[in-house]
Structure 1
Amino acid sequence: MTEHLWNYQPTAGHLAGTDLSGYKVEALDGGIGKVDKHSEEVDDAYLVVDTGPWIFGREVLLPASTVVRIDLDDRKIFVDRTKAQIKDAPEFHREKHLGEPGYRDELTAYYGLGGPFGGRLL
């Protein structure tokens, strides 16, 4: 299942070329922030979410597979994780990003087969 971790689910409603910057992000139990940056590249799609004061201005990186629905009219993205699960994710560092050896593996382990979700979408 990890091969799909970095791609949008076909049912999420993602439209290629749509700028998701500024969209609000909703976890299963409430809002977590706004999209600061995103990628829609095949096998490398993700969202960088600015959590604002929720977790002290920290940014988190969410693989695209966590997105279950995109509401283009309300500019909201719904993900299949709780606030606690997102808060416990490996910390995002702009200087590391996905190019840093081991960082993508760490994220894949957390969100994929080796992590608390057992490689399945909730």
Structure 2
Amino acid sequence: MIRSIQSLINNRIAATDGEVGKVKDMYFDDQTWRLRYLVVETGNWLFGRKVLISPVALGEPDWDAGFFPANLTTDQVKNSPDVNSEKPVSRQEEADLHNHYSWPGFGVGGAGFVTTGMVGAVIDPTVPLDEAVYQDSKSADPHLRSFSQVQGYDVYFTGEHPVGEVADLLIDTSSWRIIAMQIGKGGNGEESGNYFVSTSVVKKIEYETSSLFIDPNEELKQSVDEISPVIE
């Protein structure tokens, strides 16, 4: 099923013994385009603390109710390692999270994630991540980005002027992979408009300039009318 990230914001996450909070953002890998974490705001029960939940912990969503069941307990969430979601997430923080919840390592078969170089060859999901070799455990994964960070980035096909801005991202929830992005109005070029492009044609993302560059092949663009029918 294809969903936009915007449509998932404010969906509720429920543990096996109570509600955890609401989705406020998402982290993804900008090389593999896999969703890595949901940023969940816990509300009053944890004083508004934000926690990271991996898609591997999620059960079958109730889309009509805007509800994600999660295979974890409220005590696990309460006692989970603190991660400041307002700053880049370090490799060690990710390792601590995965060890705490006993989530499989990155690149483990069946987890839906592709090894990004952050962790060495993690083959056995029972091996704690802190036994993996990190080149620098205190540094952040340079490919881990949040939706709120890239939303509004200028998009370029050719030329000096942007053709629009990143408005939304589309996720295939069967694999939690981002398959396309919606380019909204906002650019100064003649082609400024509202359409979708596949993430497979993204050539480069410049975080220093808040810019995203796409292969200029016009045939790769899809109009909103063409792709909207497949979005639930």
The answer, yes or no, to whether TM exceeds 0.5 is yes
* Secondary structure of 1:81's aligned partner: coil
CA RMSD of aligned residues (A): 2.1
Q: Counterpart of 2:48?
A: 57
Which range moved further: 66-75 or 15-24?
A: 15-24
User: Residue 16 of structure 1: CA displacement?
Assistant: 4.8
Query: Are 1:33 and 2:36 matched, yes or no?
Result: no
Counterpart residue number, 1:86: 77
Which whole-Å deviations, capped at 9, do the CAs of 1:44-102 have from their partners, x for residues lacking one? 4211110011111111101110101211110011100010011111112024443x241
Report the counterpart of residue 165 of structure 2 in structure 1: none
Q: In structure 2, the residue corresponding to 1:25 is in which secondary structure?
A: strand
- Per-residue CA deviation, residues 28-54 of structure 1 (Å, 9 max, x unaligned), is 011111111124532x42111100111
Unaligned runs of at least 5 residues, structure 1: 1-13, 116-122
How many pairs does the alignment contain? 100
1:105 matched to which residue of 2?
Answer: 95
Q: Which has the larger radius of gyration?
A: 2
SS of aligned partner of 2:59 = strand
Q: In the aligned structure 2, how far is the partner of 1:54 from the partner of 1:22?
A: 17
Q: Which secondary structure does the structure 2 equivalent of 1:108 belong to?
A: helix
Cα distance in 2, alignment partners of residues 15 and 77 from structure 1: 16
Give the partner amino acid of 2:13.
Answer: V
Higher relative contact order (CA 8 A, sep 6+): 1
Give every structure 1 segment of 4 or more consecutive aligned residues whose post-TM-superposition deviation is greater than 4 Å. none
Structure 1 pair 23/72, CA: closer, same or farther in 2 (3 Å)?
same
Equivalent position to 1:45, from 15, 28, 36: 36
Q: Distance in 1 between matches of 2:92 and 2:82?
A: 13
- Closer, same or farther: CA 97–78 of 1 in aligned 2, 3 Å: farther
- 3-state SS in 2 of match to 1:69: coil
Amino acid at match of 1:61: L
* Fraction of identical pairs, as percent: 29
| Paired residue type of 1:84 | D
**With structure 2 as the length reference, what TM-score do the two structures score?**
0.39
One-letter amino acid matched to 1:105: A
